[in-house]
Amino acid sequence: MNASILWAISLLCFSAFLLGWQGLRLNAQTALLLSLMLSGIWLLLHYGCKQQRQTELALRALANQDVSFRLRYQPQLQTLYAEVQQQLQLSRQQAEARAHYLTALLAQLEVAVLEFDQHNQLLQANPAAERLLGHELVQQARQGLTAQSKGSLQLLWQKLQQPKASQKGELVWQAPAGHDRLAFSLVHSQLLGQPRKLLTLQSIQQQLLAEEVKAYQQLTRVLTHEIANSINPMVSLAQSSLAMLPAAGDELDHDSHADLTLASQTIARRGEHLSQFIASFQQLSTPVQADLKPVQLAEQLQQVLQLLSHELADIQVELELPQQIPALWLDPALLQQVLINLLKNAFEAMKGREARSLHIKAHCPYQHWLLEMTDSGPGIADSAAEKLFIPFYTTKSSGSGIGLSLARALMQAQGGELQYLPTEQGACFRLRLS
């Protein structure tokens, strides 16, 4: 028998007993009616409590994603409840799938994406942010950016403080691997009513350098074409005039013959010099096609040092290379050409000095392998350092001035970079290899 019915019968008997015990003068029919009313009220209250309890359990099961809960005595509601469960589960699966897809998409982006809260604390960052900024700086940003943040992090804090809803621009970023130029975009938004700041960063240093080299190449193409149209005929005519020049004493006197010979020889020499100048232009204007392959950096260095062993005879060379350097995707021929160029520049800079030393160091402090070459020469003046990579600029008494420009173009063709680093003594050039 149902427990509710037993409770109702017990209450009915108890009510009749109480009425009789109180000595009320009610007939049996009236007493029974009162008892039934009290039992009905009690059953309604009990049923309401039970329904409320079942509703509470059902909602709790939905909240906890418990699919085992059943409404046993309400089959129609159970069917509806199962449909609600199925829809909620489908919605959760779709939301999780979208979240996983967005996470995978952010992981594949080469653009650094960082999300900050209203207190400038980093909430999340994609892998590109770790690669661009470095693990240590990202961890510091997770602690929150403030006015006391150091270095480049303070620069980010200043950008985050601006109240504009959106802004774009460029940043000069100081990193362990050297300075970099970043394009940034900052958007203020809200997520579930909470303020959020979405910051994207992307390195544009390589693109800017590539555009600069491209502009130089275009300039040299024009100059080469225009100068060649004038020089080639001049050289040809000068050589022809020398061939047709009569012997001394025939038709020209000795002095006239000497003057004509000297003039013709001067034209020819100057023409040859300009032809060499044009050849240098052509070296810069010709696009470099790199043949990338896995390269062992230590082996390449040893080969170049062996090739230049004669120049290195009285120079103290210190190699600081890690025991394990992974294979780097480079063009061996182009890399050796750059190394030879830099080493010869170092030899010439140290010429005539008593103590001559060369320190070559390879390390990976950030996301790229770096090769630094530091000599013990007199160094480079600040005014000259700004023009080092401009084609045909040179501080030497003799030289074409295309060595460093060409070396930088060769590194860019391999996806790397050549930089000059100011030092207290000597000169240091850094190759970013990968």
Encoded tokens for 290: 């790199």
What's the pLDDT band for 128 if we cut at 50, 70, 90? confident
Residues 334, 337, 341, 347: is their CA dihedral positive or negative?
A: positive
Average pLDDT estimate for 22-31:
55
The pLDDT, as a whole number, for residue 283 is 65
Average pLDDT, the chain: 76
pLDDT tens digits, one per residue of 194-250: 888 998 888 877 777 777 777 677 667 666 766 766 676 667 667 767 766 676 666
Average pLDDT estimate for 155-168:
83
Average pLDDT estimate for 304-317:
84
Cα separation, 164 vs 184, in Å, equals 14
Q: Which residue has the higher pLDDT, 136 or 99?
A: 136
Asked if 239 contacts 268 with a C-beta cutoff of 8 angstroms, the reply is yes
Phi and psi torsions of 122, nearest 5°: -70, 125
The pLDDT, as a whole number, for residue 136 is 84
CB atoms within 10 A of CB 139: 12
Q: Provide the whole-model pTM.
A: 0.52
DSSP string, 261-328: HHHHHHHHHHHHHHHHHHHHHHHHHSPP----EEE-HHHHHHHHHHHTTTTTTTSEEEEE--S----E
Residue type present at position 161 = Q
Tell me which of 40-54, 162-176, 335-349 is least confident: 40-54
Is pLDDT at 374 greater than 50 in this prediction? yes
Asked if 360 contacts 372 with a C-beta cutoff of 8 angstroms, the reply is yes
Rg (CA), the chain: 43
What's the pLDDT band for 33 if we cut at 50, 70, 90? low
What's the pLDDT band for 27 if we cut at 50, 70, 90? low
Counted residue by residue, the chain has a size of: 434
Average pLDDT estimate for 372-391:
82
User: Which secondary-structure segment (H or E) carries 87?
Assistant: helix 75-108
The pLDDT, as a whole number, for residue 2 is 47
Cα separation, 409 vs 414, in Å, equals 9
Q: Do strands 370-375 and 328-330 pair parallel, antiparallel, or not at all (unpaired)?
A: unpaired
Encoded tokens for 15: 């009510």
DSSP alpha helices (H): ranges in 162-204? none
Average pLDDT estimate for 334-350:
88
Please give the C-alpha separations between residue 399 and each of 162, 304, 392, in angstroms, as whole numbers: 50, 22, 9
Is pLDDT at 265 greater than 90 in this prediction? no
Please give the C-alpha separations between residue 210 and each of 78, 203, 213, 214, 282, in angstroms, as whole numbers: 68, 13, 5, 6, 18
Residues 233, 234, 235, 237: is their CA dihedral positive or negative?
A: positive
The pLDDT, as a whole number, for residue 370 is 92
Residues of the chain above pLDDT 70, percent: 68
What's the pLDDT band for 74 if we cut at 50, 70, 90? low
Average pLDDT estimate for 334-351:
88
Cα separation, 393 vs 405, in Å, equals 9
Phi and psi torsions of 354, nearest 5°: -70, -55
The pLDDT, as a whole number, for residue 253 is 72
The pLDDT, as a whole number, for residue 78 is 67
Cα separation, 320 vs 240, in Å, equals 58
Tell me which of 135-139, 177-181, 297-301, 372-376 is least confident: 177-181
Average pLDDT estimate for 368-374:
91
Is pLDDT at 342 greater than 60 in this prediction? yes
What's the pLDDT band for 1 if we cut at 50, 70, 90? very low
Asked if 296 contacts 327 with a C-beta cutoff of 8 angstroms, the reply is yes
- In angstroms, the first-to-last Cα distance of the chain is 82
Is pLDDT at 372 greater than 90 in this prediction? yes
What's the pLDDT band for 62 if we cut at 50, 70, 90? low
- Residue 395 burial (10 A CB sphere; 0-12, 13-18, 19+): middle
Is pLDDT at 25 greater than 60 in this prediction? no
Average pLDDT estimate for 52-72:
65
Q: What angle do CA 145, 149, 151 make, to 5 degrees?
A: 120
Is pLDDT at 367 greater than 90 in this prediction? no
What's the pLDDT band for 109 if we cut at 50, 70, 90? confident
The pLDDT, as a whole number, for residue 240 is 67
User: Which secondary-structure segment (H or E) carries 171?
Assistant: strand 166-175
Sheet strand arrangement including 178-191? 122-125, 112-117, 194-203, 178-191, 166-175
Cα separation, 417 vs 213, in Å, equals 12
Average pLDDT estimate for 278-283:
66
Q: Which residue has the higher pLDDT, 37 or 126?
A: 126
pLDDT tens digits, one per residue of 385-421: 777 777 666 666 555 567 788 888 888 888 888 988 8
Is pLDDT at 41 greater than 60 in this prediction? yes
Query: Among 192-196, 317-321, 362-366, which range has the highest average pLDDT?
Result: 317-321
Encoded tokens for 244: 């047709």
Residues 61, 63, 64, 68: is their CA dihedral positive or negative?
A: positive
CB atoms within 10 A of CB 45: 10
DSSP alpha helices (H): ranges in 162-253? 205-244
